Chains A and B, each alone.
Chain A
């Protein structure tokens, strides 16, 4: 398998899986129990909280464990129905874990507007300003886009928002291990993470809250996570996530250089035999490793099928429930027409990809692509 879809999910780091196996076997205690095996579980969990906090420069008590990015996003947005002000500003390039929730929350009296992006895929500050009103309580913007990788000017947005006492949430699931995250410097109010995007396990994530008291629980029951997320904690997943966060941030500079090299190899190699390749989104302000390319004259679903035959995994936008490939709304909002949209693939490289693998990818693309 030649895996170039690291933005969908990453392979688990061997050290992470080893740690999790060990915990699964040995540490079966409930972290809420007071006896030794419970305390062991608890200290493993709290150690992971420290690791996560360190990875994003937060305090451990600002870290809430959830089931992943989607739940983290949901918890922030749902918490807003308790607020007096009832308006949220988001953007046209958000993940459905934001946009679908916002749509649903209209029935709870929470309204929203979506700010536009320019053709580079960068959020327009103008559009943010225009969409704010006296009732706005929150701005939710992804830190970096999952399809094109563009990094948003969040600092600027936060300073505008805080001047008007508006909170800011960012979906940063694509970012850990790819860019430096420093929440205390950024002063963001809420931030979502998902372990399986940084070589950790699936089914576990983080919600960082600058002021956790602004949050309300989605899941009620026991008093776990300071009453913000009931249910017995999954100790091995949490520990795996902690270690994965530590590894990813420690290796950030070294691995990024490597991933950037691979990305460069891919882009320049591709241009030699397919000069019409069009790289979407701002190429200078984006996450390393995410390359979104349109192949004029080709259909992405045909390309995908042919790449799959030789064991190459890439992505073409998001398939809906019936497998049907719809034009990507993200690519539409940066101005791609339908045909170009449906000729687009996303390659996302990760720390386990090698130069040889990219050579293999290029030679296959060369024989598959229709040049006309």
Chain B
């Protein structure tokens, strides 16, 4: 049996993934996952489904549908809201992978008689000394290994990433040559269920506004915020206070959230020392190989698309880890994940709890 069940989103990546699998001789079927109930104004799932259907019809493969919106709500979205309520900046796409795509979808695919699953992630897999390693996608600008650090050996040994060694530009060309109508569809950005809309407007539907003062690190009140959950550490835009307070020092940036006093603490200038930190602590530690790396000097990303930063593992136990960066790091935000790399190998990661100097 050679059957692969591919998660198909209607986007160009999973579309080309299907054709790559077929080319490699697999028997391919696709599944369109619905993880969010429609909000007709913002959700594009009908259009996405039609795109997926066009791709599957072109390739003459079956397209099934499955709805995990209940599981998503319970295990991803509730956590997402809680994190925001606690003033943190969660990353639901990471949880969606471990809880939905590589758990619910994986099991569903096995029920459908799949040998393995496949997704259109930009990541690669390698069998190395009896371990399965997760590697960055070859197209570094598109690499999605950051979102996949929570996978374990069992999950990745049952997975294929067919487009991990393609460049996005080549992939779009392939899609066009194959006759996929979605070949020039825009890349999705941001959190999937929020889509193109403003995150603040989205959150307002679920978490009431809670206005308070914006203060400087010296305690000077310089404006009003609408609620701490709408801001992220290191954020510049949308503070509504302009750069004018003392012009020479430039724009204002969020450096802290005081949940007790409901105050947003800001500092001026992108190079302000208050925005940079040398140490962080993180919890929910996970190593993809099941065991910690045998080196202490490694690289880390503290948010998706941040540059790899050299760091040293200070100490760790089963679930927590302390890290020292070689150079102070900008915009470390609790709730985001720190993901560790050894060159192109994604080692694992943890959720940022705190930072210090």
Contacts and interface: CB of A to CB of B under 8 A. Distances in A.
Interface of A: 299, 301-302, 304-306, 308-309, 319, 321-325
B113 A324 contact: no
B66 interface: yes
Interface string B27-67: 00100101000100000011011101100000000111111
Contact of A323 (B38, B65, B108, B113): B65
Contact of B112 (A302, A321, A322): A302
B318 interface: no
A323 B111 contact: no
Given A299-B111, A302-B111, A309-B62, A324 B67 contact: yes
A323 B65 CA distance: 6
Contacts of A305: 29, 62, 64, 112
A319 B45 CA distance: 13
B46 A322 contact: yes
Contacts of A323: 32, 34, 49, 52-53, 63-65
A252 B148 CA distance: 60
B330 to A, nearest CB: 40
Contacts of A309: 62
A301 B66 contact: yes
Report, as a range, how many residues of chain B touch the other chain. 20 to 34
Contacts of B66: 301
A306 B113 CA distance: 9
Contacts of A306: 112-113
A246 B150 CA distance: 65
A157 B145 CA distance: 64
Interface string B62-85: 111111000000000000000000
A34 B99 CA distance: 71
A120 B298 CA distance: 67
Contact of B34 (A299, A304, A322): A322
For the complex of A and B, 9 pairs with smallest distance between CB atoms: A323-B65, A321-B46, A322-B49, A322-B45, A323-B49, A324-B34, A305-B64, A322-B46, A324-B67
B113 A322 contact: no
Contacts of B67: 324-325
Contacts, number: 42
A324 B62 contact: no
Nearest to B45: A322
12 contacts: A305-B62, A305-B64, A306-B112, A308-B62, A319-B65, A322-B34, A322-B65, A323-B32, A323-B34, A323-B63, A324-B45, A325-B65
Given A301-B65, A306-B112, A322-B34, 19 more contacts: A299-B111, A301-B64, A302-B111, A304-B64, A305-B62, A306-B113, A309-B62, A319-B65, A321-B49, A322-B45, A322-B46, A322-B49, A322-B65, A323-B32, A323-B49, A323-B63, A323-B64, A323-B65, A325-B65
A299 B109 CA distance: 13
A324 B63 CA distance: 11
B29 A322 contact: no
A299 B64 CA distance: 13
A289 to B, nearest CB: 26
A319 B53 CA distance: 13
A309 B50 CA distance: 21
Given A301-B65, A305-B64, A322 B48 contact: yes
Residue of B34, B50, B53, B65 most packed against chain A (CB within 10 A):
B65
Contacts of B52: 323
Contacts of A302: 108, 111-112
A321 B32 CA distance: 12
Interface string B223-239: 00000000000000000
A43 to B, nearest CB: 41
A322 B64 contact: no
Contacts of B65: 301, 319, 322-325
A284 B123 CA distance: 58
Contacts of A322: 32, 34, 38, 45-46, 48-49, 65
Interface in B91-121: 108, 111-113
Nearest to B69: A324
A319 to B, nearest CB: 7
A299 to B, nearest CB: 7
Contacts of B64: 301, 304-305, 323
A304 B67 CA distance: 15
Nearest to A308: B62
Nearest to A298: B111
Contacts of B63: 323
A306 B62 CA distance: 10
A85 B67 CA distance: 43
Contacts of A308: 62
A113 to B, nearest CB: 26
Contacts of B111: 299, 302
